[in-house]
């Protein structure tokens, strides 16, 4: 038997009817997504992502809005798993049409996956 009882305290203005998205937004609000976008862009710059070579994909700075889409796609992929990431962008009849490409191209998804960074770039050096 547990000796201690713990309770989660939700903000007074929290709408319980908001469902899972409401709980998600408690931890990943607009400020957090903006910070993640800035950290990702800094890390990509530090790694030389803007230096285009023949084999590299061009890096486009990301935004909070693009990271929300990126997170949404990752959650979607965990609910509907395929053997390969590229299958989500296929358009043949053997795969359902998910239309993910309307929101984020596969190349941009791969770039975000490669350069996504939680900490500011200067903290990574410590």
User: Please, what is the Cα angle at 113 between 110 and 117, to 5 degrees?
Assistant: 145
Residue 24 in domain: yes
Residue 7 in domain: no
DSSP string for 23-75: HHHHHS-HHHHHHHHHHHHHHHHHTTTTS--SSSPPP----HHHHHHHHHHHH
Residue 61 near residue 92 (C-beta atoms within 8 A):
no
| pLDDT score, position 16 | 78
Q: Which domain holds residue 114?
A: 20-124
Encode pLDDT of 69-115 as tens digits: 999 999 999 998 888 999 888 877 776 667 888 999 999 999 999 99
d(CA 37, CA 70): 11
Residue 56 in domain: yes
* Cα 105 to the center of its chain, rounded Å: 14
Residue with tokens 């976008």: 37
Residue 31 in domain: yes
| pLDDT score, position 8 | 72
Residue 9 in domain: no
| pLDDT score, position 44 | 92
| pLDDT score, position 10 | 77
Tokens representing 49 are: 């992502």
- Does position 126 have pLDDT exceeding 80, yes or no? no
Helices then strands, each counted (H, E), the chain: 5, 0
Residue 11 in domain: no
Q: What is the mean pLDDT of the chain?
A: 85
In this prediction, residue 55 has a pLDDT band, given cuts at 50, 70 and 90, of low
Whole-model pTM: value is: 0.81
d(CA 86, CA 66): 19
Residue 46 in domain: yes
């Amino acid at each position: 038997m547990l000796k201690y009882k713990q309770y989660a305290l939700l903000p007074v203005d929290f709408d319980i009817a908001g469902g899972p998205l409401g709980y998600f937004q408690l931890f990943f609000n607009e400020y957090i997504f903006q910070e993640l976008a800035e950290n990702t862009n800094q890390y990509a710059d530090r790694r030389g992502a803007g230096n285009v070579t023949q084999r590299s994909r061009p890096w486009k700075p990301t935004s909070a809005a693009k990271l929300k889409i990126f997170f949404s796609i990752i959650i979607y992929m965990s609910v509907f798993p395929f053997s390969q990431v590229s299958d989500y962008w296929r358009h043949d009849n053997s795969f359902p049409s998910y239309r993910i490409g309307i929101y984020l191209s596969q190349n941009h998804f791969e770039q975000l996956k490669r350069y996504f960074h939680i900490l500011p770039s200067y903290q990574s050096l410590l």
